[in-house]
Structure 1
Amino acid sequence: MSTTPAPLTVAVRRSWHASRYTLIGILVALLAYVATFLVVAALLFALAVIGLPALPEAAKALHRFAECERRRAAEYLGVPFRPTPDLPLDGGELTERVRQVLTDPVARREALWLPFQAVAGYAVGCLTMVLWPVGLLVDGIVLSVVHLLDRRAADEYGTTPPERRGPVLRWHPALAELSASWTRSLLTAPHSAELAARVAQLTESRAGAVEAHGAELRRIERDLHDGAQARIVALSMRIGLAKQMLDRDPAAARQRLDEAQDGVDAALAELRHVVRGIHPPILTDRGLAGAVRALAADSAVPVKVELDGVEGGRRLPAAIEAAAYFVVAEALTNIGKHSGARAASVRIDRAPGVLLVVIGDDGRGGADERGGSGLVGIRRRIAALDGTTRISSPTGGPTDIEVELPCGS
């Protein structure tokens, strides 16, 4: 019984690995064919104005489709995959979202890739299928003959037969690499576009940080004006009255001084409250782990706390600790006031270069960033430190807030 020569087996394996990529490309090409007509239809409906809302949704669906192909091409070529950021198409005016879709270079490249993939991807996949029977027949004959000649030469001269690949099956890896390369070239945004996106992101985060800083200054000013300053003014008046009454009514003067003493204590308490709003002293005294446990203990809802890598050892930067503390404090306050939850959880993990903070509850959900719930403040505070915030709060719950902060360690 004859066996398949080893060189043909190696060639078949390599060709099959490449063919899987191109054969899947046929399905991708068919989807691209359908998606091309859908995108064209969305553009035509958008021209009729009434179809404008469909254009951003079509762009988001196309981006997800293209992102899958970007990942598949990068995996086949063995190069790092860098996700392309989504367009911010979930809020704002409709006309602004449509303008972003029409002017975004990544969206345009994805739209141009569709018809090209529909034609070229299908052609490459069909050529791959045609080459299989031809390759097995031709390469089987050629490699068998060459293998026999190599073995004779090896027996005669004592050399090792070289590994050979068939002249036809070698085209499968070349076709797969060509397909993956054009996908990556067409769908990868140019470096200038990446820089522009990064600049836009930094500009947005800077604007949010400036606004958050202004709001924080106004809050501090309001707390000082309505709290500590008012108490100190009242304290000054009581001391002045006590001085006037000291000679003619010492008992009344003593009462005013006692009231002034109480006013001093109240003013100090107000000032401590303001200082805690700037940088909580408990962070300095007990660190992030102790401060979070204190927040959980004071919460109106039972909170399960999980801490990993933030107890003992080297402390995090003060700005990172403060941001994580305020995220947990704001989230637990929202849970106690609005969620109707029976239980909540806080998990903090410190990994190399990043601090992960996750807060969840089993409440009714439906948290809206535009509803004045403090979620916008969380997002802006984290963005100012080049972090990311993900909020999931479907109606009916649960609500999960996940924050990533770069900590440089």
Structure 2
Amino acid sequence: MDRKRGFALTAIAAVVFAACTPAATTAPASQTPASIAPTASAPASTGTGSQPPASSTATAATVRLQLQWTPQAQFAGYFAADKQGYFAAENLTVNFVAGGPEVLPHVEGTKADGPEFTISWVPKVLEAREGGSDLVDIAQIFQRSGTLSVTWKDTALDDPCKLAGKKVGVWDYGNEYEVTAGLLTCGLTPGLENNGDPTKQFQKVIQAFNMNAFLARDVDAAEAMIYNEYAQVLEATDAATGQLYKADQLNVINWNEYRVAMLQDAIFARKAWLETGTNRDVAVRFVRASLKGWIYCRDKPDDCVKYTTDAGSQLGAGHQKWMMNEVNALVWPSPFGVGMLDPRFWQQTVRVSKTAGIIKADPSIDAYTTDIVKEALAGITDETKGDGFKKGTVEVTAGGN
């Protein structure tokens, strides 16, 4: 069954009341306002991020950031912006609103009373815009996609076109788009479960947000983020050997290599909100502080792992260290400067979205803007492109502990 979720789906509401002093807090999506009590976050001396003193002219503002998922190193740059005082230096109070399996960030961010800033994937927002959303991509944080499909080496399923007639695990809620778009390039569509043609179709299996079905071999292929679920396989014990699984036991289909990868984590804000009062200035300040946070995580990833676990990550420090290493490789290098959108990748995202039926037409010209990022980057003196960046090596730990 195709369980594609449209823009009109209802998500769990996330309501966070504002505090008065520049600080940040993380609240689960179901958190009640009375239980939120932000703690002050003073600027710290870091040696990176070129933190200016708090502006005496900038108007104090309280904003919410809707995370795409629960706290994890995928969002470490924002946690660093809090802990290092970059938000405070911009006279901002930032409340983090946790996501989760039942939260659709682009839906929450579209609401008139929703969070001022939202982390989401671009194709989900393009689909939402066709349904009436006015979310605008104001900072493109991830420069490349982290989506994989993995299979067991002993199956020889090492190419998307070999998945005809197979059980292919994907997530729903729009997380499956790269996988289904990639299989479409092989002429493969879902529907095998409805007595379809095994040479032209596959069985689309909605997998949980873990790798249990894959480890049990209940699916032939499973969707995995390189920074999360892929590591969960390597952190699991192979019953046949008593040792952790090894990378050489897996085939990895990296959708970046098949020209169907699409832009993922970006900072979005509502156009109507940006055009109200001094909100555009607030957006510039928020983006500038966030970019400094990502620069800090590039240069001091171990600190950012600690900030992530302090924020309440559900998986352990070992897993977050893996995630931080892989997320850095999605952010860096940033050829045009961190947060700047690569127009070629935008065009690819639009092309794939149209071909796969996610959207019907090209998005309007105001679907993204680089003006806010350019203004934010002008206030940062540290190196912003990550020239010469090289991904580190992280030791896999049992259970991600």
TM-score, L = length of structure 2: 0.21
Would you tell me which structure has more helix in proportion to its own residues? Answer: 1
- Which one has the largest radius of gyration? 1
TM-score, L = length of structure 1: 0.21
Would you tell me which structure has more strand in proportion to its own residues? Answer: 2
